[in-house]
Structure 1
Amino acid sequence: MNKYLANNSLWRYIPLLLILPLSGLAELASLYSIQALLPKLSEVYNIPLNQVGLILSAEVGFLAFAMLFSGSLSDRFGRKKIIVFSLLAGGILTLLCATTSSWHVLVFYRALLGIAVSGITAAVTVYITEEVSPALAGVVTGYFIFGNSLGSMSGRVLATLMMEHISVGSIFCFFSAVLLLMALLVFIFLPASKNFTASPSLNLTQMLKGGREHFTNIKISACFIIGFIIFGSFTSAFNFLAFHLHGKPYHLPYSLIALIPISFSLTFFAAPFSAKMAMRYGSMNTLSLLLIMMLCGALMTFISPTLPIFILGIICFSVAFFSSHSTLLTWVSSHAPHAKGQATAFYLLCYYAGGAIIGYLNGYVFASIGWNAVAISIMGLLVIGLLLSRYLHITERKETEVGIMDMS
């Protein structure tokens, strides 16, 4: 029997609990370091406020597009190979970013970076589903999402702190080294898949047919929409948070603004706790609660009379976001009837597309009206996500009741 299935003890998964979160950390740190650098890039390259977010949208937009293929590639060639290749290619492209002084070339390299690292999350999530016992898969996924949140945090914090002392090119070199080091560590220490069966070929027609089946499955496609909403909301908030807090009425220095993402580390407790809540009370009930927390956080930034309340709202919003993402990933992977890697990839396509599209469009909202309009936009989107989560809960409950009646 597979040693990972022989015992449900979490201790059996120590190699996974160390290596997989670190791979997510490296990926997200490199990707979202650019978000912290937006004010600096606007200044250095003389890019208008409503256009500088294009570089992040290029990253996540092409990452989303690549998700069409990354899940299928992992189904064909194996989870570990795709993770290692993605980290290695990401490190090389991040290094190339340090070699250019052209804004357009930099955007091009960052778009390629999005494509390169697209395989990591898709492959990791299905690796967990295949190699970890069902009772603990949600918990292990939660720790992987914690690694993602830590990467988002450290990328933003370190980039913000470093940009006051070293050049943007040197910052790119630093994050390139992180990705290359993680490629080596994953290659050496991540256990090979024991329960993976390779797809016979990369058939584009079959892939599109499978994608159509996932999109017509309401249990899966509704999560695609919620993922689009939550990441679009999160990206919108953090694209313009530094601009807002640095300006009137707060006038915070960037070095202090950089400390806010440290709150992402709370996901270490929140994501696994949410996984346990999902097992006890149901995934969609848990997701609904998390979306309400995101709504409350966004509302606090809208009505905030003081800076501490504003920051508390952002913290509540962020922690609930990462836990929501963890819950959705586990749901999609466990409810897909076939081609789980492909289903996860389509979820991530929609997820990152939300960051690219909503984040970019809210740039015009922020430039024209300001933070409060962005907060209203976010709250409106989250209400839609909340309604969808309740619909999924009702659908799941009805199917369960019908199943019980059929058995009786």
Structure 2
Amino acid sequence: MDGGSIEIGTPAFRRSALALAAAGFSTFAVLYAVQPLLPVFAEVFGVTPAASSLSLSLATGLLAVALLIVSPLSEIWGRKPVMLASLLAAAVLTLVAAAMPTWHSFLAMRALAGLAMSGVPAVAMAYLAEEMHGRAIGLAMGLLVSGNSLGGMSGRLLSGALTDLYGWRVALAVLGLMALAAALAFWRFLPASSRFTPHPLPWRAVPGTFLGHFRDAGLPWLYAEAFLLMGGFVTLYNYIGFRLLAPPYSLSQTAIAAIFVVYLAGTASSTLVGHAAGLLGRRRVLWLAITVGLAGVAMTAAESLIVIIGGIVVATVGFFGAHSVASGWVGRRASRDRAQASSTYLFMYYLGSSVAGTAGGWFFAHAGWPGIVGFVGGLYLAALAIALRLARLPPRPDPA
């Protein structure tokens, strides 16, 4: 099954890993760059804080829905063309958004950019599953997730710093130009698919290609992992700022924003854990990564600021490691229509972010930080139980 596939250490592996890491970096930098700018939008456009959040939520919401549409298109048009079109469109729309004079026109560009961005996360995992050798998929997926996490962190930090110096329009324009450069690098370096041929896909059959994955013994559980893990992780980050802004810590907004630097720990862990999964097997590694995340969540219940920050680092390491393993497992588990399998995983991933991230606010309002620890801990315990079940799952289509 792995004949002609890309091996670790080859020029093709280095080119594909670089191209996809750049694509992930660009996509998530542009997606999350607006998060630290919400107060700026509220002031400049005269909107409420809730309305300012639409600049992010519209993009992520439409991205999630578009994942279910774009992946079938890649079966028809090909993996690389769809991802390249996604990167170019997102870059151009970000540049246009930076010049929009009104709030509603700005939101329209952000919404369209969210739609455009869906091409990379919807298709990249399928590309790796098809083109990489079984021994290389874990490391390649880890590098992809690393690019995603680095992009999310850098987009937030860079947009905030540039806004302080030159204003939000310049900040978004710079990120748009960076995204355009990443698209050109992607076009130059990513090898064209050699183990996948575009084929006609009757649209009447598309719902069946998605539903067919739910008849598999393992994929629905991996989709549940996406919902639980991302839901818990986003909840932790959504509300830790409220705790650390209040006494006895009373940290500044700048210090709170700097917490995103711990995404670097996630960058490293996604690559290392993904590689370990390729060597030792996903079923041996997934539950360990979730256990690490659970330990980090428990550490944040402490009163010591050092222990709390340490807990956030540990939880970040566990989350990115588990996500790297689970997402890579989806591509290997699906015997056909891998793009649809991957996009369903990501749909559940973003759905968990939205649903659990909001539900966590109820626990915080009624029980404070212990409520968050209990809520996120419950999500991670459920994810751990699923991982232990997956560890006993018979392999298909190839040993994991």
Residues 370 and 99 (structure 1), Cα distance of their counterparts in 2 relative to 1, 3 Å cut: farther
- Secondary structure of residue in 1 paired with 2:135: helix
Counterpart Cα distance in 2 of 1:245 and 1:110: 30
Give the corresponding residue for 1:76: 76
> Mean alpha-carbon deviation: is it higher for 376-385 or for 34-43?
34-43
Deviations 1:89-145 (A, max 9, x none): 111222233234655554443332221111102222122222221211111111111
Give 1:316's aligned amino acid: V
Residues 290 and 54 (structure 1), Cα distance of their counterparts in 2 relative to 1, 3 Å cut: farther
Displacement, 1:315? Answer: 1.1
Displacement, 1:367? Answer: 5.8
> Mean alpha-carbon deviation: is it higher for 358-367 or for 66-75?
358-367
Give 1:163's aligned amino acid: T
Does the 8 Å contact 2:225/2:383 carry over to 1? yes
Give the corresponding residue for 2:198: 198
Give the corresponding residue for 2:221: 222
| % identical aligned pairs | 30
Q: State yes or no: 1:297 paired with 2:296.
A: yes
Counterpart Cα distance in 2 of 1:399 and 1:15: 27
Residues 34 and 273 (structure 1), Cα distance of their counterparts in 2 relative to 1, 3 Å cut: same
- Aligned pairs for 1:1-400 within 5 A: 5=5, 8-41=8-41, 53-100=53-100, 102-201=102-201, 203-301=202-300, 303-363=301-361, 365-366=363-364, 370-396=368-394
Does the 8 Å contact 1:57/1:360 carry over to 2? no
- Asked which structure has the greater RCO (Cα within 8 Å, sep 6+), the reply is 1
- Secondary structure of residue in 2 paired with 1:195: coil
Displacement, 1:195? Answer: 1.6
> Mean alpha-carbon deviation: is it higher for 338-347 or for 48-57?
48-57
> Mean alpha-carbon deviation: is it higher for 228-237 or for 303-312?
228-237
Give 1:72's aligned amino acid: P
Q: Specify every segment of 5 or more residues in structure 2 that has no aligned partner in the other structure, as ranges.
A: none
Residues 333 and 398 (structure 1), Cα distance of their counterparts in 2 relative to 1, 3 Å cut: closer
Residues 120 and 128 (structure 1), Cα distance of their counterparts in 2 relative to 1, 3 Å cut: same
Does the 8 Å contact 2:226/2:323 carry over to 1? yes
Residues 68 and 6 (structure 1), Cα distance of their counterparts in 2 relative to 1, 3 Å cut: closer
Displacement, 1:227? Answer: 0.4
> Mean alpha-carbon deviation: is it higher for 47-56 or for 13-22?
47-56
Counterpart Cα distance in 2 of 1:244 and 1:262: 18
Does the 8 Å contact 1:53/1:239 carry over to 2? no
Residues 310 and 162 (structure 1), Cα distance of their counterparts in 2 relative to 1, 3 Å cut: farther
Q: Specify every segment of 5 or more residues in structure 1 that has no aligned partner in the other structure, as ranges.
A: 402-408
Counterpart Cα distance in 2 of 1:188 and 1:399: 32
Give the corresponding residue for 1:404: none
State the TM-score, normalized to the length of structure 2: 0.89
State the TM-score, normalized to the length of structure 1: 0.88
Give 1:22's aligned amino acid: A
Displacement, 1:219? Answer: 0.5
- Secondary structure of residue in 1 paired with 2:356: helix
Counterpart Cα distance in 2 of 1:292 and 1:89: 39
Displacement, 1:81? Answer: 0.7
Displacement, 1:151? Answer: 0.7
Counterpart Cα distance in 2 of 1:268 and 1:175: 20
Counterpart Cα distance in 2 of 1:100 and 1:349: 29
Does the 8 Å contact 2:139/2:274 carry over to 1? yes
Does the 8 Å contact 2:138/2:276 carry over to 1? no
Does the 8 Å contact 1:224/1:347 carry over to 2? yes
Counterpart Cα distance in 1 of 2:251 and 2:304: 13
Counterpart Cα distance in 2 of 1:398 and 1:66: 28
Does the 8 Å contact 2:159/2:172 carry over to 1? no
The count of residues paired between Structure 1 and Structure 2 equals 398
Residues 179 and 6 (structure 1), Cα distance of their counterparts in 2 relative to 1, 3 Å cut: closer
> Mean alpha-carbon deviation: is it higher for 357-366 or for 152-161?
357-366
Residues 160 and 311 (structure 1), Cα distance of their counterparts in 2 relative to 1, 3 Å cut: farther
Deviations 1:10-32 (A, max 9, x none): 55411112221111001111111
- Secondary structure of residue in 1 paired with 2:391: helix
